[in-house]
Structure 1
Amino acid sequence: MIALSTAGRILRQLRHDRRTVALLLVVPSVLLALLYFMYSDAPRTFDRVALVMLGIFPFTIMFLVTSIAMLRERTSGTLERLLTTPLRKTDLLFGYGLAFSLAAAVQGAVATGVAYWLLGLDTTTNTGLVLLIAVVDAVLGVALGLLCSAFARTEFQAVQFLPVVVVPQILLCGLFVPRGQMAGWLQAISDALPLTYAVEALTRADADATMWRDLVIVAGAALVALILAAATLRRRTA
């Protein structure tokens, strides 16, 4: 109940933050539209890239928003006050995870709807499965953002984790170069990155055992990141 109450508080804060709402709901759709016009002469390329981006955009945006939001809780003293109550670190972290997971579900639904019904995205993957994978991927971004925020003292430092944690996963997930064509050591690194499995799940045509295995790996990585975030969360930033 404490975690649910925390999630409700965070959702109320989000509702009054119009810029964050715009970042969550509008920006992914605008970026997909940009891709549509970039590949207007190559619809098959758009279908391939846009499908992967339906997983990458939520992951990246939720990582950025969550890490900064949690850091603000600490720097403003809110976290210090909350932890003097019966609220535990796990309640706080899982409350954040639940709140931003709901926001991610709305974000994924809007982006997927725009991609399929406005931009004409044509894929062999079931639309419902694409939405599910995008939401789980966004939850992974939330969990990693909460974990990284524990090691930042300022918002600028929180943003610096983006090229360290997010960008390598985007480069090695198979979007730019098929993983089978990478050097062996790069493939090994790629195998250890959870975003790789999200992209693999997105690009599979059928909901087979391999796709569900990939999805479970992504969800498991998110859960582990949340647990580690609770273990490393500090009460003070200085």
Structure 2
Amino acid sequence: MNPRILLVTAGRVLAQLRSDHRTVAMILVVPSALMILLYFLYQNVPTTAGEQPLFDRIAITMLGIIPFVIMFLVTSIAMQRERTSGTLERLLTTPMAKLDLLGGYATAFSAAAAAQAALACAVSFGFLGLWTQGAVGWVILIAIVDAVLGVALGLLCSAFARTEFQAVQFMPVIVIPQLFLCGLLVPRDQLPTWLEWTSNVLPLSYAVEALNEVAKNPGTTATMWRDLAIVALFAVGALCLAAATLRRRTP
């Protein structure tokens, strides 16, 4: 991997992204807008004395899930667009290594993911009154790592798609099962045994668990650090697999 080539690639991707106002709005505005919608959805739901508001319980989890979903969708489509436009073909004829290429895309979209997570957390904690036992900074960090996981999985899935429509079709295969099994709908320890085992090998489960650790504990815990490391390792592994499976479509 050549750091200079990687940074040049990241700069090119960011320049393209900056000119695409709809994608910028989807990355930056949509997560915050969804959190506001979630707030009003649970605003009038009654809670008993001493019980944590339902919005606080759900919102802390969604701060990890929403960036993951959006960055997976945006990254997989963006990479596939590069392929169909011929840009990827031209880049692969240069001395640029595959990790330089994918690392540049990952760096650019990870920077966008960081801005997305920071803005969504600022709206949730500053405007909507979300409260957790742990520091807000840890929530932002976990949300960023989760968004980077979405970027890495999006890059990986784009290698197996031939069109942008096929890239979108990976979402119900890769993303939705993780939403069902991450603990958002049913606590993982209450799942049937085989589903709990499946949940244990899905990275989003650990992101949600890490966020719940921050919500319940005033300081960091060993479980939070373990979960954060697992999510980061999944992201690195997905990026390496994406580089290994990246192929030219023409001889």
**How does the TM-score come out when normalised to structure 2?**
0.93
| Counterpart selection for 2:87 from 68, 78, 84 | 78
Given that 1:68 and 1:155 are in contact with CA atoms closer than 8 Å, whether structure 2 keeps it comes out as: yes
Q: 1:237 to 1:38 in 2, by over 3 A?
A: farther
Given that 1:75 and 1:237 are in contact with CA atoms closer than 8 Å, whether structure 2 keeps it comes out as: no
Give SS of 1:123's match: coil
Aligned to 2:231: 218
When structure 1 is superposed on structure 2, of 74-83 and 218-227 the one drifting more is: 74-83
CA distance in 2, matches of 1:174, 1:210: 16
Aligned to 1:87: 96
Matched, 1:18 2:21: yes
| Counterpart selection for 1:31 from 15, 31, 34 | 34
| Counterpart selection for 1:49 from 50, 58, 61 | 58
| Cα RMSD after superposing both structures | 1.1
| Counterpart selection for 1:202 from 197, 206, 211 | 211
Residue identity matched to 2:19: H
Q: What does the per-residue CA deviation read over 1:54-112, in whole Å, with 9 as the maximum and x for residues that have no partner? A: 00000000000000011011111101111111211110011111111100000000000
Matched, 1:99 2:84: no
Q: What does the per-residue CA deviation read over 1:87-141, in whole Å, with 9 as the maximum and x for residues that have no partner? A: 1111001111111110000000000000001111111131000000000000000
Aligned to 1:236: 249
Matched, 1:154 2:163: yes
Residue identity matched to 2:180: L
Question: Which stretches in structure 1 are left out of the alignment for 5+ residues?
Answer: none
CA distance in 2, matches of 1:234, 1:63: 20
**Offset of residue 237 of structure 1:** 7.3
Given that 1:28 and 1:57 are in contact with CA atoms closer than 8 Å, whether structure 2 keeps it comes out as: yes
CA distance in 2, matches of 1:37, 1:4: 41
When structure 1 is superposed on structure 2, of 223-232 and 198-207 the one drifting more is: 198-207
Residue identity matched to 1:186: L
Q: What does the per-residue CA deviation read over 1:175-213, in whole Å, with 9 as the maximum and x for residues that have no partner? A: 110111110001000000000000000000231111111
Q: 1:174 to 1:237 in 2, by over 3 A?
A: farther
When structure 1 is superposed on structure 2, of 1-10 and 203-212 the one drifting more is: 203-212
Give SS of 1:26's match: helix
CA distance in 2, matches of 1:48, 1:14: 33
Residue identity matched to 1:158: A
When structure 1 is superposed on structure 2, of 42-51 and 25-34 the one drifting more is: 42-51
Residue identity matched to 1:171: F
Given that 1:173 and 1:196 are in contact with CA atoms closer than 8 Å, whether structure 2 keeps it comes out as: yes
When structure 1 is superposed on structure 2, of 201-210 and 160-169 the one drifting more is: 201-210
Give SS of 1:153's match: coil
Give SS of 2:176's match: helix
State how many pairs are aligned: 238
Residue identity matched to 1:223: V
Residue identity matched to 1:75: T
